[in-house]
Structure 1
Amino acid sequence: MGFTSNLFNLVGLVLLGHAVYSAHEHSSQNPLHLPSSPPSFSPLTTPTSTTSLPTDIVLETLFSVLLISTGIVLGSSSLRPIQWSKWAGQLEREERVKKSVKEIREGTGNPYRILEERPGFVDVRGKRKEFMEWVRKGDDLAAK
């Protein structure tokens, strides 16, 4: 859905730009209504416009935001399951667990792989197995 989402985004941005320009032009054409008496110059009182935007500009703004939101949703990737067990099971079924950090950053693979492998720690079970094999080989050599 790449073309459709890009088209929605483009049309929405054009309409939003036009709505912003129209609102600016509308506000610059209508002068501020200042009171007839001279204002007291305090930082808390500022002249404000008493006119509101026309309905067509408001509707155009809302429609353009709706188009842009729709385009973003259509262009996004599919959502993953929230529960870890479902996601891990899905990855194992697909047999696509990626091992590089680059692919993990792209959003594929097991993001906890680095924590599960513990690359900075010694594999105690593996070392114990190697030691037992070494002891057995030593026993075999001593028996001969």
Structure 2
Amino acid sequence: MVVHDHAFAEDREPLSDRPRLERWTIDPRARKVLTETIDDRGTEFPRGDERLTGRRHRYGYTIGASSVRDLGALGDDPRTGVRKHDLVGGTTVEVDLGSGRIASEMVFVSDGSAAGEDDGWLMGYVYDAARDASDLVIIDA
């Protein structure tokens, strides 16, 4: 889950200073929610393999930015990337989409019903500020 500490607190801009990726584990017996920060860099649009929604999974995908404002505004030199989080190994790899390119939410598309959890592709639109146009981008998961 992406947490925004102050979303909509100052104005209608939905982004807080540093949205971060967290895992929330609900313990119904203790009546508590345990939180763990996975990525404290600017991040948004968490997704995973929807075949595993509500079940244990290893990989998650987000959009990361060189600056948090790049997630919501063009600024001087926006840049976003697609991050793959290994939730078991604790590592993250990022595909940099390049200067002036802003990614939308990516969708995971599996390579068939029997495919492994990260056996597939991420698909989403990426806006290119220099061309004032968007491209459908497909990335090997």
Same fold (TM over 0.5): no
TM-score grouping bracket, smaller chain normalisation: under 0.3
**Larger RCO: 1 or 2 (CA < 8 Å, sep 6+):** 1
TM-score norm. by structure 2 comes to 0.22
The answer to which structure has the higher strand fraction is: 2
